[in-house]
Every structure is written in structure tokens, then in C-alpha cells.
Structure 1
């Protein structure tokens, strides 16, 4: 009876402990439990750097009251002797979806829409949802909370992981004994953003990364405009966005490059995001540090590939092998560089996997203090909650872990996780540690028994002589249940026994294979010690491959630097009026062409004997889609607001391959999904540099327009977007230029106006500040486009493709348009049936500036040969042909003052060819950009051998991982899609 009354009293106290203090108490006699709990003689980690040996932690009403070496323990205290145990703050995960219902992708396709009519009164784009609140969808789930508590977590920050702007999060204490009135620590803890569309919204825009970036830029501009009271209508999304701007802003990047892109948007709007990383930040660590952002790091490290089949192993590329090897060092590298970060369970299949991955990060060099900071003080700091959670300082919530020792030791047992002063038992700390070696007597035989593993989760191994027997063990409340089988598994022995706490021996009942009952005894012969092989294995730091620039095959150990070089006795193709110079020297210095002549003095220059070889300006590709993470933003019929500069992929192997073909510059164009596409990026192919350092300084402004089949969506059966005909395409241009003209007029008038990034770009075209490269094929549309330009008094810069240019070459020359075309492509779709290989020569003779371009990642490596075709088809001179891939594209791109020819003062973008540059036998031996060598044929040969050696080394590491029982994944090939105009 007394026990029942005590249990009822505890239940009663628990129910009133968390009642809200202003609730009426009129249903019986009530009192509040104000007793203290004191944990004495413990090693207490007040913070990761403040550790008290033999200290006392005093808590009351879910808060830390005192902590220290000498604590005065009140009389109404429950004292818990924690001698031999350690106490840590419970962990915090600030990127969770715990308890928040997540949207599910609807089954079936469904047609994309322009807008959702049901969202009137909200922002025009359905993927912008700052009005969403996780608290509205929150429902506490103690089953999942237990999984998190068992992994050491006491607090999580949860949100709706859907959309580009996702609304606010909710900060939750994982207290199963309380209710939402006390476990909800903050119902608007942060605002969350990403580059990813909603999975449930049907609105078509944006379809790409660059579209998402443009949308965010416009959204922030609109929010400022709205806040200033300029809107005549209500917008609940912008109101919520402005209301939330004082909150912590957390951006889901999941990649090093995306982290930098997000930070750029934040900087432009005066926002410092906390960024969810992708685990590859180590590859661009200097730039990551430059963001000044705090990071949230998943530690879901990749598994080793099963490369035991040598043929299948060939499918795994070096980049992916390196990632397996290097990724576990990511937290260490951030710590070494002073970048604050927290750790998250995000992307882990189960919280139970967390400790193993954390231990791996520590093995790879992450200091334990930094690991603890990343789980306690840093996440609290990111959320601005250091005054309430993340440490065991006085006044903080009583969220703490009790362990058998160092929490980051493999053998340590987590006993209890207290949340808001409520005990949650993970493993019974009073249970005897039975690990050790035993002589097991059972059925008249003696066996060697070894119990290892964690104290709370022991593992068993039983041997008969030297043979391992199949065995199982379970242990709870000092009772052991074990079994083993002999005679190749035919005879099973089952035992249940009690541990003698004085002697550590185990004795009990035995059931023999024949069903008869007997007894067994396990006599402890020695205490548990860690296997020396395991100790050595754990202590040895893994070998980590060095990071290269970029971090994949053929990357540089150090980035190329400009050199002073003298090329002697070359045949120099100047692409200038001086033509082709025999036996000529070219001196480059400080990244520029310094001198051209014969018998030049070398001085301290590196001398390259170019006798019998040809030196040219670097090849320039006027139209390419390599080095892009996205090509088309297809959501609208005009996407002038998007920028290819936002999505430059500096790791595209085609950059290196094209350097091997002598290409040094290229215009990265938007695709042809819409009449008005996105803004171009003009690049120098500086392999190993960041995207920003590849883009031309003071880059000329270009934009992609398109005509023909693609923009009217002939090839993908879309019926929801205007235009559907070539007539409609013309009307799109007329409409947008008229709107742009009106926008520009209002802007210049000084009247208040809403900044519109799309209209800003259209106005730049009208003002002659931005040039158009127009995808075109059919003469009627080429004529139409020039008439539209004449109507609005601007000039088309370049018609690209233009395979019917020969039909209207005279009109193009009169208009002032240039041409970028193919040498001999035809008949690959209906609208190129009239293409002829004499197109380039005919346009050239009519006074049009003509370039031969690639629009193809493979053909770009052979633009020298494509230029050579114009000698055959049209009788061009060799020098005229060569100009079509050097000075002519430079003129079209308005960079001919810097590149495109060999002239004193120009950038030293040069190629040394083994043979005549128009020959199919010519190889680019050296390709230089601004005096730095980015491709060298001899170095390339050395790289191939180094790659073989590194692959072998990594394969051997993975084979060793497999032999050690490590978890493996099947071999697979990851291959970047080669983009084209039509890529969606």
C-alpha cells in the first residue's frame, strides 16, 4: 500500500510540476515539489572548456542552481553519488524535422502552372512561404524523442523542410514528462531558406538554381519596397518575411559552392546566414572561412565502395573515391581554420548512427573539445539561446548526460539523459560491468568466453579450443541470458544466470541440447582490456589524400602562377595585320605579352624552344554550355533576371579537356528554353580557380535570346506557357521591350518605382549597355529579330547557330550583327535542313564578323579543326580561318582589347602547338592564360600515372575497409551531364 501511495505521489508531483503557473488549482489539495537533486563527486563539463573534477551539480525545477567543487547542498535534496561518472550538457540539433509534419510529394505528374490562384494575398511565387510556421504543424512524438535522447540529444530545432523560403522553426526540449507549455522553448526560433523548390507546389518557376537565386534577390528587394508602404495590396508573405528578419536566418546549402552562393545573397542584403553544409567545405576552405558564417555540419560520411571486382571498380571515379577518404576530415579542417560549426543528425538514416560517425570524425583529427562545442555551446550560440541551453552554467536548463567516462570514447556508456530536470534512463548505471574473460563450464565441457563491446551493450565470443562458436548474449538488471551452438550448429546450449556482484562470476540454469536441465558457471579469469590491435587501429590516424584544385583528377597541387617566359623561334600566328611571323620570339611577363621580335634577350625568363612549333592566341569559344550547373531557367518566357555567372561549375572536367584543345576563353550561354533567356558568363578557363576568378574582370554584359522550335516548346509538348508559335515569339519581344522602355522612363524620371531585376536588364539592352547573343536558324525569324531591334533602336550583337545566315548576310551586315556559327552541321532537326557548309565564308564576304563556335562540350576541343573546314568550304585563307576562332569571337564578345591575338600589351593567353594549328595532327603542348600554364602535355602524361597510383592506393584502402567488416556501397559511376541548349 505504501509503495502505491508513493507512486501516486510521484505521478501527482510530475503532473503539477509542469502545469502552467496561472492555471487555477481548484480540484484538490496541491503543492509544488521544490526539492533539489544534487549529483556529487562527478567530473562535470560545465562547458566544453570548463571542467570540474569531483564536482557537484545542483538542480531544481528543471534548472541548474549551483555547480562547482564546493556546493552547499540544501536539506531538501536528493543526493546522487556520481563518483566515477561524467556529466555533460545534452546535445542540441538545430536542423531537425522532429515532430513537424513534412509535405509529401503528390503521386503522379500534374501540369506545371504559372501561379496558384488560391494563394491570393501572398507573394506571387508559391515557393516563397515565410508565413509558414513549424509550431502550427508540431506534434510531440515521444517514441522518436527517445531515439534522439538515446543518441544524447536534449533539444532540437525543427522546421518544415520544403520550399525556398520555409518559414519559422520551433525549438523543442525532448521532455516526455512535460507538455508543450514547457518543452516548447521558442515557437519562432529561426527562419529557414534554401535553393530548393517546394515538393507540393506546382508553380513552374523557378526550374533551376540560377532561377532560385534570382527569385531570392527579387524577393528581398520587394520586401524592402513593401515595408516602405509602396504596395496598394496586402502581401502576407512579405509581411511575414519582414517580421522574421530579426530572427536567426538558416540557409540549407548542402554543398560548398551553394554555401558561397547563399552567403553572396545574404551579404547583398545585409544578412549573415547560418549555413547547413554539405560535408565538402574542406575543398574550398579559404572561401568558406571568408563567409564569416557559422555552419551546421551533417556527418553522414560516404561508405567505402566495394571495389573487389576490378572491372566494376573502374566505374568509380577518383573524385568519389577521394570523397570517401577525405570527407571525415571536414569537421577537423573547419576547426583548424577557426570556423564555428554545430553538428546535426540531418541526412542520417537513424540517430543510432550518429556516434559511430562522430567517432570517425574524431579519429580523423577533430578535437574532442571542438566536438563537444559543436553539440552544445555553438548550436546554442547560433540560435541566440546560450543563456538557457548548451551548458551547465547556473540558470540554464537542467539538460545533461551522465556517462561512464569520456563521452567520445568508443567504450563509454551513456547512462542517463536528463531533460529539463527529468531523468531518462538509457542504460542502467547501477548494472554491473560484466566485460572480461571467463572460463565457461557447461555440459561437462569448459569453453573460453570473452565479453567485450560497450558496458551497456556487451558482445560475446565463445571458443572451443580455437574454433569460434555461434553465440548470443543479452544482459539486463544483472541477469544474463546467453546461448551457443556446437557441432556445426547442431547442438544448442541455452543459459540464464545471475551476476554475483562480489565475485563477478555468473552462475545459473543450463538447458542442454537434449532438453535436460543442468547448471553452468562462468568464472571470470581477467578484467576487460581493450584489444591492443584495436587500440593501435583507433590510435593510428588515417591517411588522407591531399586536396587539389579542383579536387578531382588532373587538379593542381598548387594553383598555377604567372611566369616570365620567352618562346624562341616559333611560327607566330598573330591574328593581327602582321599575319604569320616565322622564327619569331615572344616574351611574356606579368601576365601580358611584353615583346615580339627576333633574337629577344631572355634575361631571367624561362626559355621555351619553339623551333618547328606554332604559337597562337588562345582559342575563344563564343558559344558554350560547359562549366555550368544549370543551363535553362524554363519557368517563364522571359528570364532576363537570371545569371549564368551564378552557376559556373569550376569543377567541370571539360574545362581541362578544352584547355588541352587550346581553348582559353568562352562565353557560357543560357539555353534556348525561352525567347528571353538569362545573362551570360564570359570565362577564362582557369582550371583550379574559383568560379569568381574564372569570370572576366569588368566583363562585358551579354544576354541570351532565342528563336525557333525550342522557345515555342515544339519538342517537349508544353501547352501551358506562351508562346506556342513563331508569331507569338515576336510578340513576347515587343511586349517586353515596350515594358522595359516604360520602366526605364519611369526610373529616369525620378518617380518612386519598384525595382525589377528583369526590367533592369531589358532597359540595359535598350540603352546599349547589354549585348544580345541570339539563338537562330531560319531567315524569317532572323529578319524579324532585326526589325524588332530597329523598332526599339538597338542593335543585335550576335546571331549564334544562324545556319541560314547566308540567306540574309547582306541585311546582317547592314544592321551590324555578327555571327557565331557551326562549320558544317546540318539536318539534325527540321529547321536546319537548309544549312550549308559555305555559310561562314558567305557571311564573312558580306562584311559580317564571323566566329566558329562549338555549342558542344566535345567539339570545343577541336575548334582549330572546325576553323580549318572553312578553308575547304568557301576558300578562306588559313589566316582568315584562324581568326574565326581567335580575334573574331573576341570582337563579338567585346574583349578584343584584351585577348584574341598576339599583340604587345594583351593578356598572355597563348597556345604552343606541335604542328600547324589547322592540322588534325596538331597538339596543344602548352596552354597559358595570363602567363600561367594551365595545360602542359608533359605534365598531363605525369598526371595520368599519378592518377593510376592514387586510384590503386584508394582501392587498397577500401579493400582493407571491407576486410575489417566496414559497411560498403556498390560501385557506381557518377557522371556530370554534358549540357546543351535544350538541357532542362
Structure 2
């Protein structure tokens, strides 16, 4: 009976072995895994554990033992004396093995055909950028060439996904094996992926950063509704179904900028999701804000190359910010470590993975510790996506994924010799498999007798043969094979005239490394006579040079400033107690203009106004001969944003300017120099109902959130006329196409909003113990309709782009039909024709001083417009709609003086009047005790063409000072010059240098319904 059991066991084992061969093989199918024992090695198990003179045993693709009592008899022994073994690296952000998506022109851009609907076949969602149903494992196919590149950089495992769309589906963990695709897959659905880029989608929506954010926010809402209402009438939605299915996976978000990282985290916070964020590379510029996200990061090493700034004309167009970024970008990984942010490292973004190790060593030179670097490449990524049981450290039972290096891997001279993936060897630089560095006794056993030499071997196969002379040798040690060639005498010099030296004939040796410093083999001399030879290590080691990555001096010139670039400061300006003495004060209040008056600013407020004021703690500013006014308020601006128009649909009220503020915009500083302290940042005019606006204070150096005017009423941008109906577009398929259609868009939108509001009220009517029912369990929430409901309930207010009197009139009628009013008509160059109707309706007017003739709608514009509306009794403001004009709004307002408007009333059009129309006149717009300390000290009266803003103060903080500005200009010039000289030194030292790249600054304007303007604005320090 026992014999039968044994036979059965053997039979089952044979069946099991055969069952593993699931593919037919044209040849011998007995592919043996084998066992290997790597002896005498320095084994770095993980960042915390290093074992010297260790033995690592692998078998069948896994780690079988570490330091066993006895090496298995069947194991192939590999002597790794003076070698190092590390866990192979893990990259969590790749598209390795994923088919590249075809990118076609599309979306909402100038000259491109519009596409409003999703043309993907199947029961998917309405938007093509939501690709949650893509599973990377289903489309993965190994790429031998790319796998080799990544292996050569030290990687053995990668997480790969289809980098296309806002929601990108799932990622798959694979090893970089050349075996089958099946064998490569380690974990099928390992992660879910997101971005702000719609990728290859040719659909018009979204066309902006804020549109992408809105789509993602709405998708979370829609997916929750779909999950909780399985019987909803919309039927099957594979996009939402798969979106819900991937929420339990690690959520990875691609952010290509420090502000994008913060934006992504806010989206996640709203949805109750903590993203792992793929960093953009400039997070060091705002690392404290990045740390505050509490996110874990995947950090790239694609540092900018030096630019060729030899030509001064080219150099002048490279901004200081770009020069500073070139110098400081390698400090980005170290900034994550120093701020205790968990992070991984990735090779993504590099044009060639071969530069990965060089860039990593540069990051270490800039302060990244070797321990943090190793963790970021092994344990951290394994932990983040739940594969620590398989890879990330060298422990028994895990995959045999490891690299063998000639030295500690982060040393400048370290070479990756081999990369073992799942127990399979992949040679990297095997010819650099150098034995122990030291001096060998080299003996050539010739027929004429023995010739003895000293063979001096250094790192990376550098060798010299020392006899009568020291002779350079050519050495190659590849695994167990050794080859050596050298000439027994120095090459003779050439003849006269500087001729090249004559090459001397060489002895050629080849043999094997027997281990323990003993080589032997055969060779031939210069006459072809054979001989045998031996080389025995004497133990006299060659002195190793210090690691050059730590020996180099960085000579850092730049510092991180806020904002990062020209006119930034290392410390943010602080609120002060300020006493402005003996100025002419333009109050913009009933008090009028006060001569020789003091104003005390304390705790960010206007504390006192009068004569002879004093405060021992105050900073004194002499206002003698100068004029003080409230800070200028621009009711209509488009600065400080990443995008300004979500122009794809007729209604995009879900889009929010506040989602994509750009606090680094140099126009903030420039406008402070013109006395502007508050700006109303509007959505563009590409659609009838545009996006939600954002009121900001010009706090130069603050974060995007800190720019926002706290407590201000929310507004939204509407538009009428040519921009909305796309008069200039030849590809318009979007409704409306006429002025009549614009009115119908308004009617339809508010009727839907009214029905939506009724449904919410009905759903809220039922009660439960403890309170009201959440209406959105019964009503599907719609972010765009939410904004319209707020308008109807006087919780959000309209500023409407307008020109033609007929459109202004019908818009007021639509508003009255649905029980609200249009708060402000902006532009309104035909306002003088309908001022009486606007007064009855209750609207404000924000206009230009004298713009005329730039399109058909403004042929009837007149420079008396503002004065006429003012005389009728409207609250009138002068706005900029232009980053450059905003620097001289005081002068634009003063133009109405020639039309019989007083100087005081003219100034009020850029101070208290816009404050009133923005509902913040209780805080800003005039000089009055208790209001925010937002004031400007002018060189002349503010309505004069000679007036210059000398000091601009926001909340009691000096954000612009003309004397300080002169000092900054000198410092900027000095820093620029030093960085340019450093770049030139890099070029002359042989470093990679790219052609000089001019820095562009995107200037947004209201009419940018087709594209934004990229302005060559690199020399921002002017």
C-alpha cells in the first residue's frame, strides 16, 4: 500500500509540472529554473538592513535563503566578492507595455471642429475623458526594448497604466521580464489613475483646467447617485459602474505643477479620497503647502538642463524663474524628505531612463539621503500599492528581483552589473564585473622563462601593468571570463612635426576567474607564441577615491522666494502698524478730500483718521506733498489664473475660477505697482452662462487660497452677443448661433433650475427623527444647476458681459421673470441708451472709458458713456479687462473728467463704486475707520497722469514699495547674471545644454473664446 502512495505522489507531481506548461512550445519544454547562490556579497536587504559577506540563495524565481548553513548542492555559485546586491527598484508611474493612444486635433480650440458628444461605442457615460473602464492588464504587452532600458536603470517592477483621460482606469503591476505577458503580471488591478488632462478625447468639454476639475467633481457625484439608485431610468452606465468599482484601489493623480498638486488634493478632500500624487517637479517652491495636503507623492527626476545663454539676445528672454528652477530643481526630492512627506521616485518624464541614476545621484548631492532614496525606490512604492509581500526588499519567499552593483549603488562610479528579475539574469554592464580592487602578482609562463609583473586593478576594469615602466592595460572581467592585453614597453613617439606615437604590439591574455583572487589562462605574445599565465591577488588594495557625489561643491546662488521668480521675497511681507503722516487723503466718502491728514493702520484695519495722530509702535511714512487713496478695485479682470474660459458648452456654471488661480502671475505685482489692491477675476465670455468668478486681494507671494477675498458674496459671469454666438468661428455647431438663441439659452437654463429647485424642496419636505431628509438621495445633484438656484435665491450674483441695448433689455426681462436681477452689466458700451431701464431694474454698470470700434457691437460706443450713466443715477465703475490697462485704472477713470465728472467721482469709479457692486463696500473701497487697511500713497493726485503709486498696502501689509522695487531690480540683475555665468560654465564643462527657451506668459482676456494669448514676457524683471 505504501508503494502505491509513493507512486501516486510522483504521478501528481508530474501532472502538476506539466500543468504549468499552458502554451505549446516549438522545441524542448523542460525549461529549468535552477538555483543560484551569490556568495561573499554585501547584501542590502532594505534601507535599514545591510549584511556583509552574505550569501543569497534563489530558486524557481524566488529568494530561497539568506546566509544558509550550507549552500544547496544543486546551486550555481556566483562569487560576489566586493559586489553589492540591492532590491531591484520599483517605478509606480509608467506606461510601459501599454499601446500609445492616437492623438487627434479636437476639443475647444481655434480652428478645430467642435465635438459635443461622446462618440465611443457602447453603454458608456456622456464624456469621453472618463475612461474608468480601461484595465491596463487587459491591454498590456511587454516591450523588450523599453524593459531593457528600465532594467539598465535598476528597475525590476513597474506599475503601468494608460495615461489618457481625466479618469484613466486601473494600473497593473508587472515585472520587467522578457518572459510571457502572463508571467510578467504581478497584480492585475493595482491602482486607479486620474489627471486634469482629457488626453486624446476630441470632445469639446472640458477645455480648461477649471472644466476638468468640474467634470471630476460631477463624476464623483454622478457615480454615488448611480450606486445608490440602481433602478434609475438612465440604465446601464459602464463608465460610472467601473468608476465605483475602482474606488477601493490606491488612487493616483497626475499633477504636473505644485499648484496642480494642491488642486488635486482639494478635489480628493471634497470626495473623501486621499490621492497619491504624481509630482510636477517644482514642489520645493511651496513645500509647506504641499506637505499640508497629507498626500504621498511620486517624485520625478527630470531636472531641467542648462540652457545655451551664450548669446545675450537669447539670454534676455529666459526668465529669472526658469534660471532659478534650473539650479534648484534637483533639491526637490530632498525637500520632500526634509518635510517628512512620504514619497517614491520615478523615471517617468526622462527622455532616456539611462539618465535616471545620474539624476538620482545629483538629487543626493542636493541633500537627499541615501536611505530615503533607497526607500523611495523599494519599500515605499511596494507598500503604497500593496505588493510588499512580493517585492521591495530581499526576504525569503519574495521574488528574486535584485541588482548587483560594483560599488554602493549611489556612488558616482557605481555600475549596475546585472539585474535579476524573477530569478532570471539580465546583463547590464557585465564587462565591468571587476574583481577585488588591488595588486595582483601576474606571471607569464613562457618557453623562455617566467615574466613577472604587478597588475594594479582599480574600479570599473581600469588597470595598469607595472614592470620596468607603468604600462596601461586593457582589462575586461565579465562574470567569470577575464581578458587582458598590454604592451611590454611604452609606445615609441612619432617622428618630427608632432606625428602621432606608433602603436606598440600587445600581449593578449584570456582566462577565467576562479574566485578568491585567483585568475589563470592562456595567451599569445607579439610573435604569436602561446603561453600560460596566472594572477594572484596579494591583498594590497588600491586606495579608493572619495565618492564624488558628496565631494562636489554646489555653490548655490538662488533661494526659494515667494512667489518663485522675479520680485519674490524669501520671507512673506508681514502686517505692520503704519502711520501715514500729513497726506492729502481722498476718502471716497462724504468727507471728501482731507488736506494734511494722518491715517493710522493697525491690525490690518484703518484705525484712525485725523491730524496729529501718533502711535509709538507704528512705522512712520511721510505723506507730505503726497496723496492717499483707497486701493483701486478692478471689477473685471482676468489675471492670476491658469485658464479663463470653459467655452465648450452654452452653460458651464459649474466651472469655478477659484479652482485654478495662479498666485505666481507677475501681473499681480505689476498691478500693485499701479495701486490695484482688489480684483474681480471673471470667467471669459465664450458662453451665455459662464463660470463662477473669484474676488481676490493682490497679496503678492500668498497661496492661491490666501488670495481669495474672505467673506465676499459669490458671483458668476454671463455673456451676450458676438462671443457667445461665435460670430467669428467657421466651425460652430454649438447652440446658440443667433442673439435670439442666447435669450432662449437663458430661459431654458432657469426653467430647468426652477424645476430642479422644486424637486429639491419636495425631497426635503419629508422628515425623519433627528431632522430633514438629504434631498440628494432623491434628486440627482447637478453642480451647474446648483449655481443657478443660488442666483434665484440671491445667494450668487451676476456680472454680465454686454454691449447691445436690445440684449441688455431682454436679459433684464428674463431675470425679472425668474425673480432675480442682473447685479452688474460689464463692458456695456451702449449703456447710455438703456441707463433708465437699468436703474429701474437695479443693475450696476462697469465699463471702459473710451474703447470703440474693435468689433461690430461697439460701433455705437461713446466716451461719454460712463458720465451719462452716472448722471442718470447708476453706480458706475471703470474696469480693465486687460492685464496692462489695470496698471493705470486711475488714469482711465480720470478720462471722464473731461465729460464734466468731478475728480472725486472719477476716482470713486475705481474705488467705492466697484466695492458697492461687488458687495464689499463695508470692507474696502474708501478710507474710513474700521475698513480694511487697503490704501495707496501716490506721488501726485490720483487722477493725474503724473501720479505714481509709491506704496501699495493691503490689509496693513506693504506689498509694493517703489524704493524697495528699485532695490529688487538691482538684486534681480545681479542674480540673473550670476546664474547665466553658472550656466555658461556648465556648457564649457561639457554638461548637457539645450537651446535657450524664451519664457512665455499667458495673458487672458475676456474675448478669448477661441484661444489664449501667449505673450513673450520672459524679461519679467522689467
Matched, 1:660 2:673: yes
Cα gap change, 1:400/1:27 in structure 2, threshold over 3 Å: closer, same or farther?
A: closer
CA distance in 1, matches of 2:520, 2:122: 74
Q: CA deviation at 1:38?
A: 2.8
Q: How does 1:312-323 map to 2 (within 5 A)?
A: 312-323=314-325
Q: Give the aligned partner of residue 962 of structure 1.
A: 987
Q: Give the aligned partner of residue 214 of structure 1.
A: 214
Matched, 1:95 2:106: no
Q: How does 1:835-874 map to 2 (within 5 A)?
A: 835-872=861-898, 874=899
Cα gap change, 1:531/1:962 in structure 2, threshold over 3 Å: closer, same or farther?
A: farther
CA distance in 1, matches of 2:811, 2:31: 81
CA distance in 1, matches of 2:788, 2:26: 72
SS in 1 for 2:53: strand
SS in 1 for 2:427: coil
CA distance in 1, matches of 2:463, 2:102: 40
CA contact (8 A) 2:508 2:523 kept: yes
CA contact (8 A) 2:365 2:550 kept: no
Cα gap change, 1:74/1:495 in structure 2, threshold over 3 Å: closer, same or farther?
A: closer
TM (normalized to structure 2)? 0.86
Q: How does 1:64-83 map to 2 (within 5 A)?
A: 64-67=63-66, 71=69, 73-83=71-81
Cα gap change, 1:565/1:65 in structure 2, threshold over 3 Å: closer, same or farther?
A: same
Q: CA deviation at 1:885?
A: 0.4
Q: CA deviation at 1:369?
A: 0.8
CA distance in 1, matches of 2:17, 2:608: 83
Q: Give the aligned partner of residue 7 of structure 2.
A: none
CA distance in 1, matches of 2:63, 2:220: 42
Q: After the TM superposition, which of the residue ranges 251-260 and 24-33 deviates more from structure 2? A: 24-33
Q: Give the aligned partner of residue 443 of structure 1.
A: none
Q: Give the aligned partner of residue 980 of structure 1.
A: 1005
CA distance in 2, matches of 1:895, 1:683: 12
Q: After the TM superposition, which of the residue ranges 53-62 and 203-212 deviates more from structure 2? A: 53-62
CA contact (8 A) 1:17 1:32 kept: no
Q: Give the aligned partner of residue 12 of structure 1.
A: none
Q: CA deviation at 1:721?
A: 0.6
Q: Give the aligned partner of residue 184 of structure 2.
A: 183
CA distance in 1, matches of 2:336, 2:372: 10
Match of 1:697 among 702, 710, 716: 710
Q: Give the aligned partner of residue 643 of structure 2.
A: 630
Q: Give the aligned partner of residue 770 of structure 2.
A: none
Match of 1:901 among 926, 930, 949: 926
CA distance in 2, matches of 1:352, 1:114: 43
Q: CA deviation at 1:63?
A: 2.0
Matched, 1:672 2:671: no
Task: Provide Cα deviations, 1:372-401, integer angstroms capped at 9, x if missing partner.
Answer: 111111111111211211111232211111
Task: Provide Cα deviations, 1:778-813, integer angstroms capped at 9, x if missing partner.
Answer: 111111111111111210000000001001111111
CA contact (8 A) 1:637 1:674 kept: yes
CA contact (8 A) 2:88 2:402 kept: yes
Match of 1:950 among 971, 975, 989: 975
Q: Give the aligned partner of residue 197 of structure 1.
A: 198
CA contact (8 A) 1:474 1:481 kept: no
CA distance in 1, matches of 2:345, 2:25: 46
CA contact (8 A) 1:822 1:852 kept: yes
Q: After the TM superposition, which of the residue ranges 802-811 and 129-138 deviates more from structure 2? A: 129-138
Q: After the TM superposition, which of the residue ranges 949-958 and 934-943 deviates more from structure 2? A: 949-958
Q: Give the aligned partner of residue 785 of structure 1.
A: 811
CA contact (8 A) 1:569 1:611 kept: yes
Q: CA deviation at 1:432?
A: 4.6
CA contact (8 A) 1:411 1:453 kept: no
Matched, 1:56 2:55: yes
CA distance in 1, matches of 2:652, 2:477: 65
SS in 2 for 1:710: helix
Q: Give the aligned partner of residue 9 of structure 2.
A: none
Q: How does 1:620-769 map to 2 (within 5 A)?
A: 620-750=633-763, 752-769=778-795
Q: How does 1:327-346 map to 2 (within 5 A)?
A: 327-346=329-348
Cα gap change, 1:354/1:24 in structure 2, threshold over 3 Å: closer, same or farther?
A: closer
CA distance in 2, matches of 1:812, 1:354: 64
Matched, 1:151 2:149: no
CA distance in 1, matches of 2:504, 2:218: 72
Q: Give the aligned partner of residue 572 of structure 1.
A: 585
CA RMSD after TM alignment = 3.5
Task: Provide Cα deviations, 1:233-277, integer angstroms capped at 9, x if missing partner.
Answer: 100011101111111111111111101111111111111111111
SS in 1 for 2:725: coil
Task: Provide Cα deviations, 1:465-517, integer angstroms capped at 9, x if missing partner.
Answer: 9xxx9x99998654468999976779888978436889999998999xxxx99
Q: Give the aligned partner of residue 40 of structure 1.
A: 39
Task: Provide Cα deviations, 1:149-194, integer angstroms capped at 9, x if missing partner.
Answer: 1111100111111111111111111122x33333210111111111
Q: Give the aligned partner of residue 403 of structure 2.
A: 401
TM (normalized to structure 1)? 0.90
Cα gap change, 1:498/1:33 in structure 2, threshold over 3 Å: closer, same or farther?
A: closer
Cα gap change, 1:877/1:436 in structure 2, threshold over 3 Å: closer, same or farther?
A: farther
Q: Give the aligned partner of residue 371 of structure 1.
A: 373
Q: How does 1:27-426 map to 2 (within 5 A)?
A: 36-67=35-66, 71=69, 73-106=71-104, 111-176=113-178, 178-199=179-200, 201-230=201-230, 231-232=232-233, 233-426=235-428
SS in 2 for 1:455: helix
SS in 2 for 1:949: helix
SS in 1 for 2:218: helix
Q: How does 1:787-806 map to 2 (within 5 A)?
A: 787-806=813-832
Cα gap change, 1:151/1:325 in structure 2, threshold over 3 Å: closer, same or farther?
A: same
- Residue segments in structure 2 that go unaligned for 5+ positions in a row: 1-13, 441-454, 764-774, 1012-1022
CA distance in 2, matches of 1:732, 1:451: 85
Task: Provide Cα deviations, 1:830-882, integer angstroms capped at 9, x if missing partner.
Answer: 1101111110010011111000110010010001111111111x211111111
Match of 2:836 among 793, 810, 813: 810
CA contact (8 A) 2:314 2:998 kept: no
CA contact (8 A) 2:123 2:237 kept: yes
CA distance in 2, matches of 1:980, 1:704: 14
Cα gap change, 1:510/1:122 in structure 2, threshold over 3 Å: closer, same or farther?
A: farther
CA contact (8 A) 1:643 1:678 kept: yes
CA distance in 2, matches of 1:717, 1:662: 41
Q: CA deviation at 1:348?
A: 1.0
Q: Give the aligned partner of residue 1019 of structure 2.
A: none
CA distance in 2, matches of 1:67, 1:669: 65
SS in 1 for 2:786: helix
Q: After the TM superposition, which of the residue ranges 41-50 and 251-260 deviates more from structure 2? A: 41-50
CA contact (8 A) 2:258 2:290 kept: yes
CA contact (8 A) 2:62 2:397 kept: yes
CA distance in 1, matches of 2:918, 2:265: 30
CA distance in 1, matches of 2:19, 2:196: 40
Match of 2:860 among 834, 856, 861: 834
Q: Give the aligned partner of residue 5 of structure 1.
A: none
Q: After the TM superposition, which of the residue ranges 135-144 and 158-167 deviates more from structure 2? A: 135-144
CA distance in 2, matches of 1:303, 1:39: 40
CA distance in 1, matches of 2:456, 2:882: 63
CA distance in 2, matches of 1:256, 1:17: 53
CA distance in 2, matches of 1:257, 1:383: 25
SS in 2 for 1:187: strand
Q: How does 1:479-628 map to 2 (within 5 A)?
A: 479=483, 497-498=508-509, 535=548, 538-543=551-556, 545-628=558-641
Cα gap change, 1:434/1:29 in structure 2, threshold over 3 Å: closer, same or farther?
A: closer
Q: How does 1:20-31 map to 2 (within 5 A)?
A: 21=20
Cα gap change, 1:272/1:489 in structure 2, threshold over 3 Å: closer, same or farther?
A: farther
Q: CA deviation at 1:31?
A: 8.4
SS in 1 for 2:159: strand
- Residue segments in structure 1 that go unaligned for 5+ positions in a row: 1-14, 439-449
CA contact (8 A) 1:617 1:900 kept: yes
